[in-house]
Structure formats: structure tokens, C-alpha cells
Amino acid sequence: MKFRCEREILAEALTTAGRAATGNTGALPVLSGLRLELRANQLSITGTNLDLTIQLTIEVGGDTDGGAVVPARLAADIVRSLGAGAVEVRADGDEVSIDNGRSHFTVRPLSFDDYPKLAAPVTSSVTLPAAQFGEALRQVVRAASTDEARPILTGVMMTAEGDGLRMVATDSYRLAVRDLPGHQVLAAEQKVLVPGRALTELQRLVGGGDDVTMRLGDRDATFEVGSTRLSTRLIEGEFPNYRQLIPPSHPNALTVEREPFLEAIRRVKILAKDATPVKLQMGGDTLRLTAITQDVGNASEELDADYKGGDLTVAFNPEYLMAGVEACQGDAVTLSTLDALKPAVVRGVGVDDYLYLLMPVRVP
């Protein structure tokens, strides 16, 4: 195998595919590598840990067809370190050489024959606008858990809702729900649970194309953006009944401008040390944010707001609160709740396709 490629293009491709390669070289050391395969001027680069696979194709100056498996992190680090211009890669027997100008590297390849054969994705597909789908991912994935002890909560549930797609994630402290009307991806009553880690990687890719092609199999999901394909195993199990968490009514409703609210949370949470919550004191036309940490200090800030309901003080984890407000669209947000101990719902004013539910923190 021999080809030439501009350094920036090759470095980006190796880095992207490398995010799926595993650093755990236990039973299959070859999974720490990237599979390169050249056919004419098309170079296919694949990284996988068997649960997540990223494969992309780039245009190169092909010389000799062939393939090799190179150490993922090492190859990416080498190419990123090179000077501007073309990089020549040549695989010959037990050696892969990487040349650029007066720089010359050689690395030992991994076994090409031991690299796992990947199944072809299902043929049926649906196409979604990349910008809209990417925004939905940004809003929802943040609420998925990263605790592998509870694998069900590390996924994002996709389900049919009306004439469209609904995406739901929760880590048991917060819940995010986003609807994509008019996009019938799943059959009625069908649900799939896609790993949050895979969708985090997909967020990085959706900016590179106009559309996302989605293919759902019985046990896996595949997303295609331009010349890049991301495949992931689905999570098996029953997602929690999230609907029962959403209060049917909200007698207390706060409306405040989104950006000033975000800035106030950022400032006040500087003093919210050691899991100290931020208190929101709501009443009349004023919102007061307060954080007090013993032996450190305190912070408070007032904002103009529109509040309907009885005077109420409720406390939240500041990071979770900020994440919810940040995810909302629009110039203003509403925070609605029953009382200081019940979940609060954050929405963008005039935006009905997204909600973020947040559990309060009990304070004295």
C-alpha cells in the first residue's frame, strides 16, 4: 500500500476514526489500531472497539492498493506533528513508513488479518436534516448518565411520537425530551436505546454534512454523514417510564431572559463549592440567586423576572441548572414547578419541542 495525502486531511481522518479505537489491549490488541485500506484513490479508515465503529473515506493520491492496521494514537500523533504539505504513507511487510519533507517515521503494523470483519448495515434508511438532528443531540445527550453501573441510563431512547421522532435521556437527576415532528424514523410503539457515547461522537460529525442517514437494525444503529459512517450496538433493556416524572400542572412559573440568567448562574456558582446548590428565590418581578459555602463565602445576584405563583425558594445543582437553560432555544426561558421538592421543568418561551426536567436539592 502506498499513497500521498495532505497532512491536515489525513490527521483529521485518523483522529476521527481513532476515537472509536480502544485503548484497552486485552483480548484483541488489534482493536487499538486503525484499519487502512486503499483502492485506487480512495482510502478507507476504520476504528472500532466492537461496540462503536467509525469508518470514513478520503480522497488521496493512490499509488499501490493494499491495506494495513496502524496503531491509532501513534499514527495520529505522528501525522499531526508533521509540517504542512503532503504526507506519504507506505506499508511494506512488517513496516509502515510515514514521510513528510525531511521527516521520516516507521512503525510496526498490527495484524491485518486479525482485524474484525464488520457487518454491512441494513439497507432501509431514513434521512434527517443534519442541523436539526445535531441540535436535538446537543439538547438531549447532556442528560444521559456516564455511570456504566447503570447501562440503561447511559443511552438515549428514540421512539415514535405522533408523526415524528422523540429522543429522551435521563441520569435520574434530570431528564431531557426533544421532539422532531414530521420525521418518521420508527414504527408505532417501536423504541431503541442508543448509547450516549456514540451520539456524543455523532455530534462531532453532523456539522460536516447537510443530511444524516439513519439505519436501524435489530441490534445496532448506523448513522452516515457525508463519507463518514458511525455504527453502534444498541443497549438492551427497558428504559424508565419517564412520562410519570413530568408534572401535569405547574402552579408556579418563572419567566426570565435566557442569557442574563445563564450569566448570573455562572457568576454565582463560583461560590458554590463542594456540591453547594444555588438557591432561587422567586417572587413578584424579581429573581434572586444565592450560593453560600461555609468558610468560603457567599454570592448573590438579582434579575428582573416575571413570576406567577406563591413566593418560593428552590435550590438546584448549578451545573445541571446551567446545562438545562443553555440547551433551551429562544430569548427567554420558563422554570415551572409545583413546590420546592418537586421536579422543575425548564423550557424556551414559545418553543414546545424541548423540555428539561430537573430535580431540586433539599436544603435546610
Q: What is the pLDDT of residues 255-310, one digit of tens each?
A: 999 999 999 999 999 998 878 999 999 998 999 999 988 888 999 999 999 999 99
222-230: long-range pairs with CB below 8 Å, 24+: 222/121, 222/122, 225/130, 227/56, 227/57, 227/58, 228/16, 228/54, 228/55, 228/56, 229/53, 229/54, 229/55, 229/56, 229/121, 230/20, 230/52, 230/53, 230/54, 230/55, 230/198, 230/201, 230/202, 230/205
Residue entry with cell 480512495? 42
The helix, strand and coil proportions of the chain, stated in percent and rounded to the nearest 5, come to 25, 45, 35
Residue-level pLDDT at 28: 87
Quick one: which of 53, 34, 39, 47 has its CA closest to 98?
Answer: 34
Residue-level pLDDT at 27: 67
What angle is formed at CA 51 by the lines to CA 46 and CA 52, rounded to 5 degrees?
Answer: 40
Bridge partners of 333, per DSSP, are 256, 348
Looking at the chain, the domain(s) classified CATH 3.10.150.10 span 2-107, 126-244, 246-358
DSSP 206: G
What angle is formed at CA 296 by the lines to CA 291 and CA 302, rounded to 5 degrees?
Answer: 25
Residue-level pLDDT at 124: 79
Residue-level pLDDT at 231: 96
Question: Sorting pLDDT into bands at 50, 70 and 90, what band is 211?
Answer: very high
Q: Are 37 and 43 in contact (CB under 8 A)?
A: yes
Instruction: Give the pLDDT confidence of 168-197 residue by residue, as tens digits.
Output: 999 999 999 999 988 777 777 788 999 999
Q: Are 228 and 205 in contact (CB under 8 A)?
A: yes
Q: Which amino acid is at 52?
A: L
Residue-level pLDDT at 186: 77
Question: Sorting pLDDT into bands at 50, 70 and 90, what band is 330?
Answer: very high
Q: Give 180: exposed, middle or buried? Use CB within 10 Å, 0-12, 13-18, 19+.
A: buried
Q: Quick one: average pLDDT of 9-16?
A: 97
User: DSSP readout, 351-362?
Assistant: --SEEEEEPPPP
Residue entry with cell 455504527? 231
Handedness of CA 201, 204, 205, 211 (dihedral sign): positive
Instruction: Give the pLDDT confidence of 67-83 residue by residue, as tens digits.
Output: 999 999 999 999 999 99
Tell how far CA 99 is from the center of its chain.
35
What's the CA gap between 8 and 86, in Å, rounded?
9
Residue-level pLDDT at 343: 94
Residue-level pLDDT at 172: 94
Residue-level pLDDT at 182: 85
Helix (H) / strand (E) containing 264: helix 258-268
Between the alpha carbon of residue 178 and those of residues 141, 279, 328, the distances in Å are 10, 27, 10
Architecture of domain 126-244: Roll (3.10)
Q: Domain 246-358: give its CATH code.
A: 3.10.150.10
Q: Are 345 and 357 in contact (CB under 8 A)?
A: yes
Number of other CB atoms surrounding residue 80 within 10 Å = 14
Residue-level pLDDT at 25: 60
What's the CA gap between 238 and 144, in Å, rounded?
15
- Domain 2-107 matching CATH 3.10.150.10: the answer reads yes
Number of other CB atoms surrounding residue 62 within 10 Å = 18
Residue-level pLDDT at 26: 65
Q: Is 140 or 148 the better-scoring residue by pLDDT?
A: 140
What's the CA gap between 121 and 95, in Å, rounded?
33
What's the CA gap between 313 and 310, in Å, rounded?
10
Instruction: Give the pLDDT confidence of 16-65 residue by residue, as tens digits.
Output: 999 999 876 666 899 999 999 999 999 999 999 999 999 999 999 999 99
What's the CA gap between 50 and 231, in Å, rounded?
9
Between the alpha carbon of residue 76 and those of residues 16, 24, 119, 181, the distances in Å are 10, 17, 26, 40
Instruction: Give the pLDDT confidence of 84-138 residue by residue, as tens digits.
Output: 999 999 999 899 999 999 999 999 999 999 999 988 887 778 889 999 999 999 9
